[in-house]
Amino acid sequence: MSVLRYFVFGFAVCATLGWSLNQSAFAETDYPLTEDSIRQDGVPEGKVIGPIQWRSKIFPGTVRDYWIYVPQQYDPSQEACVFVVQDGLNRAKGWHLLPVLDNLIHKKEIPVQIGIFISPGGVPAANDQSQPRFNRSFEYDGLGDRYARFLVEEILPEVGKDYSLSDDPNDRAIAGASSGGICAFTVAWERPDQFRRVLSTIGTFVGLRGGDAYPVMIRKHEPKPIRVFLQDGSTDLNLYGGEWFVANQAMLSALKFAGYEVNHAWGDGGHNSKHAASIMPEALKWLWEGYPGEVSVGTTEGRRTDLLIPGEDWVEVSSGHRFTEGPAIDSDGNLYFTDIPNATIHKIDRSGNKSVFVKDSPGINGLMFGADQKLYGCQNGTKKIVRYTLDGEEEVVCEGYPCNDLVVLPNGVGFFTDPQNKKVWRFDAEGKVTLADEGIARPNGIIVSPDQSILTVADTDGRFTYSFTLDENTQLQNKQVYGHLHLEDQELKSGADGMAVDTEGRTYVTTRVGLQVLDQLGRVHFIIEKPQDAWLSNVVFGGENLDVLYATCGDKLYSRKIKATGVRPWEAAVKQPKPSL
């Protein structure tokens, strides 16, 4: 038996055993095939090419087979749609997918598409006394963008050498069963710029490798342009990781809550392809319904925290920098931000005119205005806290301390973070520095609540923010781990950086996942997408009504208008409403 056949055989045995242990006593409904799943006279039959062996670099050492389905209607002069299916040709045959594609393409009920049926990878056994390393669960059940990158960077370019494939995400569908089902969703969730149509049958949205988090993330995250069809049966698996049918219902509920285009077919079947095969033609027709119309984006309407304005997305404000940081707004609405490697502070006035405000400010990072209308900054290259007059004249506030980000209060007291030494420092109006806290793994962003009673510090190397109360002498008290942040699957560190607050007492924290919005109780209600795939370093409210977010992300500065009003920490305190407990 070949290595690749052994991988497939092992999966089939496991799937069969899982079903027999949980479902053997239940008699399923008979799910007959429809005419669209059976070969019809006069319908052109597509050809299947393969198996083709592939050795991956993204999944080192793995070997797998894939097959290519080419309909007779395929025209090399025109870009074809793409349909990727996990678990290879066996999965396609289990769904009776080949006649389904032939029949529906012939009737023009779905577009012409190239099918790519891919087996999971495995690292061959070292010898006849060893087992291969089975990669199916790691590739399929795991969250993050690895498998999406495998498709986008390896398989699609390879198939694209011989076939004309569309690179429009609206022209791409992806499907799978069981772990292959959650894999299909993960690809579209991570890369909606590549895939937007998802078919999942008996999907494994349970706690094997973190997939049980999806219903929560869907409810919290800014909606994406994805259309999803779910299938499952009431006697699907119920194992240590969860109950499949319950998990799929949770996915449906979350997708509906977030306004996605979603459809489903529930039955009484177990962990097999019987029901899926019977509804496959209707599922594919719905998946491609309205094509070539675009898949729509979900909505935030009706959510407890509804921040987004339809049609208002991130807009590029400034580019051509090396690494942007420290956005700050003065009382007239002018915007300032830093380019750390270039030791420069840039200014954009209310009319959009751009200029260099300060040159040669070594390591200049976080910025914030003070009540004295001077721009305070962390000049880490010289280990100084400095401030600038509106004419750009530099004054030293204090020196001798590494510094990253800062906040300045109306009474002239400020706090700054020192990630290198795991410390937070306090300075007063005369520039006297005292230690305020130590021990946070990597203190970074720092902000005060609208009523100026609570100070929050972001920990780049952790998953929480830290909360302190401020006493009558503006000293820190009652340190507590408080805000709970979401992490990327492959990260143990949130990447929490700069922060802003609004009049409702919400805290906006820049992280690897995106801009996470926490309520007063430290719970993430909403996650706004990053403007680009780069480090999201800081954020501030600006605009005439303080309802525009300005975010520094990688080499660019972006803006986005939202349904919230920001607060400037250096102005008078703003009373925030009592939170919902």
Task: Tell me the C-alpha distance between 534 and 512, whole Å.
Answer: 9
DSSP annotation of 296: P
Torsion angle in degrees (nearest 10) through CA of 276, 281, 287, 293: 180
Q: Which amino acid is at 303?
A: R
Q: How many residues does the chain have?
A: 581
The three-point CA angle 375-506-405 to 5° equals: 30
Query: CB within 8 A of 64, min separation 6: which ones?
Result: 4, 7, 53, 54, 56, 118, 119, 120, 121, 122
Bridge partners of 67, per DSSP, are 117
Q: Cis ω on the peptide bond leading into residue 51 (within 30° of 0)?
A: yes
Cα 190 to Cα 186: distance, rounded to the nearest angstrom: 6
Q: Is 497 one of the annotated binding-site residues?
A: yes
What is the distance between the alpha carbons of residues 1 and 3, in angstroms, rounded to a whole number? 7
Phi then psi dihedrals of residue 455, to 5 deg = -105, 135
Of 36, 102, 171, 497, which is the active-site residue? 497
Are 59 and 150 a contacting pair, CB within 8 Å? yes
Residue type, 548: V
* Spatial CB neighbours of 289, under 8 Å, sequence gap ≥ 6: none
| Cα–Cα dist 428/415, whole Å | 9
Contact (Cβ atoms closer than 8 angstroms) between residue 113 and residue 90: no
Calpha distance 80→69 (Å, rounded): 12
- CA atoms of 446 and 504, how far apart (whole Å): 18
Q: Which helix (H) or strand (E) holds 182?
A: helix 179-190
Name residue, tokens 């997408």.
529
Three-point CA angle 292, 295, 299, nearest 5°: 155
**Helix/strand/coil for 528:** strand
**Listed residue (507, 453, 469, 504) closest to 485, CA to CA:** 507
Place of tokens 């960077």: 153
- Neighbour tally for 162: CB within 10 Å: 12
SS (H, E, C) 106-169: HCCCCCCEEEEEECCCEECCCCCCCCCEECHHHHHHCCCCHHHHHHHHHHHHHHCCCCCECCCH
CA-nearest of 212, 183, 194 to 91 is 183
| Residue 444 in marked binding region | yes
519 is catalytic: no
Nearest to 83 by CA among 155, 33, 153, 15: 155
Binding residues for a divalent metal cation: 444, 497
- The catalytic residues are 497
Binding residues: 404, 444, 497
Binding residues for substrate: 404
